[in-house]
């Protein structure tokens, strides 16, 4: 370096051209290339009148782009997006996360949009370089985004709710300039991978302009919500149903607990010390809030606590932070006049897009949920003609009680064990659940599977695409279809390649008892879409499981289809 400076000094004094070290030239060239790629994937978001707006980043070639909820919200259902190719594209809102200030939109007009690669925000270290791309002060009339360079100033920052429900947990702090209009735009690491979505800053007396303190929602948080957003949902963040308090010596203990929470049902108790949450060590209340704040509602996560020297492990389903109706009102309640029923825009381009929007309570745009549900279902069923499976199902198995047999057809569902016979008319799973024995729950599970296979998601009843949820027992993530029938709620967990149905989870909403039907083994038959083995598990109160029975479906007999 000193040699370089001396050289620079000399060459400056004598007015000569200087040769830079080749590493520097390469580094600069690489940086220019990375920034050029990053700029291509950055979106300038405008409302339909081209007045308000912000930034965004494309994450899929078919046009899905991430931005902030507070950027999308004033735009209504549709927006205009400029890319650095100089063109303006139409876009529609897909899913929103009002608490985490994230939104997913979809651009139309190409199927080869330039895409920014996802980074891993857990690997981000303080001091590493990063850069923000976006449209500060909406000054890019030609949609060439602005690039600002800086370093990561802080990680795992928790920003308290700002009067409303907005909460930034586990966010990345940077001194790269984040100004109004940068909102929703990407924060990149030096390799050009997205590590966060810029959305907030600390401002002071100098007004709403950068003072070197901007915050980005970490991309790893967004990864957990991404499939839910893609399913058109208004997503919610999670709470444990318990409050914790930090004590001396890095202890975080349960200080209050809702008895209606799943955490309580799974055995969490007052004064338990949190050891691990979602496989991450818990060292302070702040850090716990940080981790918790990045999880979606209804995720089931492993929890490890210590009580009287004993380590206790449980899997807990997280509850939602906000009332779903409140979220829905927030998203749809104060729709801008141009989006209201009688004030439809006269913009012809937008009217063409109207078919890409479907209103339903709890969803930002139900159109995309329908699409995702169809993708999962057709992926699972594949080319099979499931109508051939109509007629009677007979599944023989060896339960702990001895030989058992399921018999299901269009009219009735029955289960025969050495000690008893259960038989139900096809009035739904609710009937089966209303009777007391565990066997009836197995029957309910089989009944719901059969109903899904024959009716398909459209005619199943109320069945929507849930998103990608963890299945901690199997240490995997699954595509989930979720539905309700009467007082029964059901979730079908499919492997992410959609090859297998892994688990059917049945919740009796009135009793809050969960039963799970586990499927394992290979899919042996070309026609039969399920795996060869099933295992039933019923929760009957905190941490008590009983009657796990393996049923062998390998010798299931298939009768001639009746239709």
Partner 1 sequence: MIGRKCCLGSWNLVLRLIFWGYLSWGFCGETPTGWGQVPRIDNPVLQLKQRVVKIYGSGGVRGLEAYQSGIIVSENGWVLTVWSHVLDTDRLRVVLDDGRTYVARLHQYNPRSELAILRVDDQSLPHFDLTRGAVPNVGSSVYVGSNLFGVATGDEAVSVMRGVVAAIAPLDARRGQFEIPYRDTVVILDVITNNPGAAGGAIIDARGNLIGLVGKEVQCRRTGTWLNFGYLLEQIGPEVRELIEGAPLKTTSAGKPGEPWTLELLGVRLIPAIVHRTPPYVDGVKMGSRAAEAGLLADDLIIEVDGKVVAAIDDLLRVLEGLGRDSSLRITVQRGGEFKTLQLRGR
Nearer to partner 1, 175 or 502 (CB): 175
Based on the shown chain and the rule CB under 8 A, indicate whether residue 159 belongs to the binding site for partner 1.
Answer: yes
70 is catalytic: yes
Based on the shown chain and the rule CB under 8 A, indicate whether residue 157 belongs to the binding site for partner 1.
Answer: yes
Based on the shown chain and the rule CB under 8 A, indicate whether residue 515 belongs to the binding site for partner 1.
Answer: no
Chosen residue from 16, 24, 458, 546 binding partner 1 by CB under 8 A: 24
8 A C-beta contact, residue 280 and residue 290 = no
* Strand 273-277, strand 300-307: pairing: antiparallel
Residue with tokens 């290979």: 522
8 A C-beta contact, residue 397 and residue 549 = yes
Chosen residue from 10, 16, 25, 26 binding partner 1 by CB under 8 A: 26
347 is catalytic: no
Q: How far is the CB of 270 from partner 1 (least distance, A)?
A: 23
Per annotation, catalytic residue among 55, 121, 171, 183: 183
Q: How far is the CB of 115 from partner 1 (least distance, A)?
A: 19
Chosen residue from 17, 19, 23, 86 binding partner 1 by CB under 8 A: 23
Subset of 206-245 contacting partner 1 (CB under 8 A): 206, 210-213
Chosen residue from 120, 122, 128, 522 binding partner 1 by CB under 8 A: 128
Q: Give the separation between CA 56 and CA 40, rounded to whole angstroms.
A: 11
Q: How far is the CB of 287 from partner 1 (least distance, A)?
A: 7
8 A C-beta contact, residue 182 and residue 134 = yes
Q: Give the separation between CA 337 and CA 246, rounded to whole angstroms.
A: 48
Nearer to partner 1, 173 or 531 (CB): 173
Subset of 275-334 contacting partner 1 (CB under 8 A): 283-287
Q: How far is the CB of 186 from partner 1 (least distance, A)?
A: 17
Least Cα distance to 43 among 63, 26, 25 occurs for 63
Nearer to partner 1, 20 or 509 (CB): 20
Q: How far is the CB of 185 from partner 1 (least distance, A)?
A: 20
Q: How far is the CB of 154 from partner 1 (least distance, A)?
A: 5
Based on the shown chain and the rule CB under 8 A, indicate whether residue 3 belongs to the binding site for partner 1.
Answer: no
CA contacts within 13 A on the Cβ side of 268 = 31
Nearer to partner 1, 147 or 211 (CB): 211
Segment near partner 1 (CB under 8 A), from 9-17, 343-351, 381-389, 402-410?
9-17
Chosen residue from 135, 173, 182, 515 binding partner 1 by CB under 8 A: 173
C-alpha distance from residue 48 to each of 80, 89, 135, 356 (Å): 6, 11, 16, 16
8 A C-beta contact, residue 275 and residue 305 = yes
Based on the shown chain and the rule CB under 8 A, indicate whether residue 191 belongs to the binding site for partner 1.
Answer: yes
Based on the shown chain and the rule CB under 8 A, indicate whether residue 31 belongs to the binding site for partner 1.
Answer: yes
C-alpha distance from residue 529 to each of 340, 379, 465, 495, 563 (Å): 45, 12, 19, 13, 19
Chosen residue from 25, 126, 361, 509 binding partner 1 by CB under 8 A: 126
170 is catalytic: no
Q: Chain centroid to CA 541: how far?
A: 29
Number of helices (H), then strands (E), in the chain: 11, 33
Nearer to partner 1, 275 or 499 (CB): 275
Q: Give the separation between CA 54 and CA 67, rounded to whole angstroms.
A: 8
- List strand residue ranges (DSSP E) for 340-420, in order: 393-399, 402-408, 412-416
Q: How far is the CB of 20 from partner 1 (least distance, A)?
A: 9
Q: Give the separation between CA 268 and CA 95, rounded to whole angstroms.
A: 33
Chosen residue from 90, 97, 170, 175 binding partner 1 by CB under 8 A: 175
Instruction: Give the number of residues written for the chain.
Output: 563
Coil/strand/helix, residue 430: helix
Segment near partner 1 (CB under 8 A), from 151-159, 223-231, 454-462, 465-473?
151-159
Per annotation, catalytic residue among 47, 90, 97, 101: 101
8 A C-beta contact, residue 67 and residue 105 = yes
Helix boundaries (H) for 329-480: 348-353, 366-381, 429-434, 438-460
Q: How far is the CB of 243 from partner 1 (least distance, A)?
A: 16
Which distant-in-sequence residues (6+ apart) come within 8 Å of 515 by Cβ?
Answer: 438, 441, 442, 444, 445, 505, 506, 536, 537, 538, 539
Based on the shown chain and the rule CB under 8 A, indicate whether residue 117 belongs to the binding site for partner 1.
Answer: no
Q: How far is the CB of 305 from partner 1 (least distance, A)?
A: 20
Count CB atoms within 10 A of the CB of residue 411. Answer: 8
The contact set with partner 1 (CB under 8 A) reads 1, 4-5, 8-9, 12-13, 23-24, 26-27, 30-31, 125-129, 150-154, 156-159, 173, 175, 190-191, 202, 204, 206, 210-213, 246, 250, 283-287
Catalytic residues: 70, 101, 183
């Amino acid at each position: 370096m000193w040699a370089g400076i001396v050289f620079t000094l000399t060459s400056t004094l004598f007015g000569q051209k200087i040769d830079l070290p080749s590493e520097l030239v390469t580094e600069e060239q690489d940086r220019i290339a990375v920034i050029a790629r990053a700029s291509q994937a950055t979106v300038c978001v405008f409302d339909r009148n081209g007045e308000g707006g912000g930034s965004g980043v494309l994450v899929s070639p078919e046009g899905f782009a991430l931005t902030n909820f507070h950027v999308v919200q004033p735009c209504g259902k549709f927006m205009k997006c400029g890319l650095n190719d100089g063109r303006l594209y139409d876009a529609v809102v897909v899913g929103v996360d009002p608490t985490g200030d994230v939104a997913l939109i979809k651009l139309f007009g190409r199927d080869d949009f330039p895409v920014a690669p996802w980074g891993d925000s857990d690997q981000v270290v303080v001091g590493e370089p990063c850069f923000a791309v976006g449209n500060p002060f909406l000054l890019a009339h030609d949609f060439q985004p602005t690039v600002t360079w800086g370093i990561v100033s802080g990680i795992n920052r928790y920003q308290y709710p700002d009067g409303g429900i907005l909460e930034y947990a586990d966010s990345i702090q940077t001194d790269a300039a984040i100004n109004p209009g940068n909102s929703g735009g990407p924060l990149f690491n030096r390799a050009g991978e997205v590590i966060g979505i810029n959305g907030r800053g600390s401002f002071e007396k100098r007004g709403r302009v950068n003072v070197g303190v901007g915050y980005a929602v970490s991309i790893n948080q967004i990864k957990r919500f991404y499939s839910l957003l893609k399913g058109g949902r208004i997503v919610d963040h999670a709470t444990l149903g318990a409050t914790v308090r930090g004590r001396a010596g890095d202890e975080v203990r349960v200080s209050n607990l809702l008895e209606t929470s799943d955490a309580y049902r799974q055995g969490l108790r007052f004064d338990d010390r949190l050891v691990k949450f979602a496989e991450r060590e818990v060292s302070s209340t702040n850090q716990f809030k940080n981790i918790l704040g990045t999880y979606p509602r209804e995720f089931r996560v492993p929890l490890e606590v210590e009580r009287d020297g004993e380590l206790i492990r449980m899997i807990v389903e997280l509850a939602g932070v906000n009332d779903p109706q409140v979220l829905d009102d927030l998203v749809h309640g104060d729709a801008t006049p141009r989006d209201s029923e009688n004030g439809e825009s006269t913009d012809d381009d937008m009217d063409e897009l109207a078919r890409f929007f479907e209103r339903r309570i709890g969803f930002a745009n139900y159109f995309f949920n329908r699409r995702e549900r169809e993708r999962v279902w057709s992926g699972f069923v594949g080319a099979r003609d499931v109508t051939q499976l109509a007629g009677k199902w007979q599944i023989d198995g060896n339960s702990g009680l001895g030989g058992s047999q399921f018999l299901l057809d269009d009219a009735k569902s029955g289960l025969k064990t050495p000690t008893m016979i259960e038989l139900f008319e096809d009035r739904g799973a609710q009937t089966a659940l209303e009777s007391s024995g565990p066997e009836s729950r197995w029957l309910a599970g089989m009944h719901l599977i059969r109903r899904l296979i024959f009716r398909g998601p459209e005619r199943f009843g109320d069945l929507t695409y849930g998103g990608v949820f963890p299945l901690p027992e199997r240490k995997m993530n699954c595509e989930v279809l979720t539905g309700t029938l009467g007082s029964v709620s059901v979730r079908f967990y499919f492997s992410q390649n959609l090859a297998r149905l892994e688990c059917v989870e049945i919740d009796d909403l009135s009793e809050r008892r969960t039963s799970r039907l586990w499927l394992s083994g290979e899919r042996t038959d070309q026609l039969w879409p399920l795996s060869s083995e099933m295992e039933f598990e019923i929760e009957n109160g905190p941490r008590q499981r009983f009657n796990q029975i393996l049923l062998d479906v390998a010798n299931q007999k298939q009768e001639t289809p009746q239709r």
